[in-house]
Structure 1
Amino acid sequence: MQNEVWLRMGSFILVLALMMIWEAVMPNRVSPVARYKRWSSNFFLVLCGALTGRLLVPAGLAVVAIFADEQQFGVLNRVPVPEWAAVALAVIALDCLIYWQHRVFHRVPLLWRLHRVHHADPHLDASTGLRFHPIEIALSLGVKGLGIFLLGVPVMAILIFEIVLNASAVFNHSNIKLPNWLETPLRKVIVTQAMHRIHHSQVVTETDSNFGFCLSIWDRLFHSYTHEAKAGDDGLTLGLKEYNKENNNTGISTVLLMPFRQIPKQMPPKNGSPKNERS
């Protein structure tokens, strides 16, 4: 258990440091908000999320897997498959579970109130991949715990999945742009920065697409894939229209209380009132 914690933390810090260095050397976009304001909010949420996880599941999700194994409960504990195959199948299944969790958080208004904290970031960089409200983190832990129990996920699969999930979130939110010769084949397998930037577009139909975190196959398989934003990668506007002012998308108290406050009203355009597409 102790080795698992250090391995996860070490890999997380390594990937985060590498992506932040890459962003600093070859940034793709200029942030419309001061870096220290965004980072103070985003990294504060990381701390809150980590504390939430530690309070809810002190020993980690591995205890759920151990309990399921002892009770011989769950699909993979019942089906005779080699251990390596069980690990591989479990990692893939958990990635699919997170894809559907993500879609549900976009569809259910109450859950969207939590998830919009993530989308309210007006810029994308490695820190955005960590910007999730602690209540969303708690609900996600519950979803993953239930999935691990019902599937009978091996402990090793949980370790691999958590490392891959965290690394993917940091990687595909990073403020970089891959060359086309690498971007094109890579996004057929995993979620790239250009693919995920579409998900953070202010255009609602684009926000409601490209839900994948690691593997990109789920969006194609379940018909939620958008290949390119209408405005192109360089032209799309990031964030949420309702949170386009610096004082309502950054700040520790702002991001913590965002789910419990009314959506800020937009100034109506000259040709009429804006259509409120989400509640």
Structure 2
Amino acid sequence: VSVTGDLSEDDPDRASEISNEIREVILPELKESFGISTYMSGLAEQERNFLSDAFTGLVLCLAGIYLTLAWVFSSWSRPFVVMAIIPFGLVGAIWGHHYWDVPLSMFSVVGLIGMVGIIINDSIVLVTTVDEYARDRGLFPAIIDAAADRLRPVVLTTLTTVLGLAPLLYETSKDAQFLKPTVITLTYGLGFGLVLVLLVVPALLSIGHDLGRNIRAARRALAGRAPGMALALGSAIAAMTGLFAATFGAVIVTGRLPAILGGASSMPLALLIFISGSAVIAFAVWLVAAVRFNARRA
């Protein structure tokens, strides 16, 4: 049995409301009352197929960007710093849809895919400048100087795109309404990226530098130069792994914590216990390292 109907496109919000009502209320009631199976086709099926293809395209786009950046920077980790701005652009796009009271649609996804390729341009410019400056000065002075020197290019490249698209936001014709979700995604995504790229990317570069020093120190310890520290680090890793299994692992597998930890079925409590236990383990390792270091100096 096929049931067909047309929804007016003059009011997209009302059409979306009716579609959700059919999907979430009417069809489940029919399944429960008569034991039948239902399937939504037509525009709903086209939307599902489009979202599936768009997701595949987005994944391929991100993979292509990552491989290209890894080749350019000759690093497997540096592309993550460049691409870290993408989620913040998504936040800006979602907020823009909320501000203009425009529902997310297929055109929003199209704009999102385009925004991914555009928003990292500013990040690439900044990271490249930092790497160039860091060759003859420290990393932190290089980050400060690069952020100051690249401020004008970053602002200009973003504003030219945002201001060029902005008039479409105020277009009232019916034909322009289909493009509005795409324009909102690009405008607000790039606008948020403009502000955050000068804050998030330098912070991530600094964090990466600090983590790199800690990892190199851990490698030296595990390489045998400090046998006691190697044992302490190995024990700490084993303890954290066991704690993770006893908290998150137990909740995921059995649905509740072990009886010794209270037996509650709460993921936030598992997170709290894991963080607290990891902090205690890290402090113990730091204490052992401090004692051994002072003993060597003495």
TM-score (norm 2): 0.25
TM-score (norm 1): 0.27
Which structure shows the bigger proportion of residues in helix conformation? 2
Q: Which of structures 1 and 2 has the larger relative contact order (alpha carbons within 8 angstroms, sep 6+)? A: 1
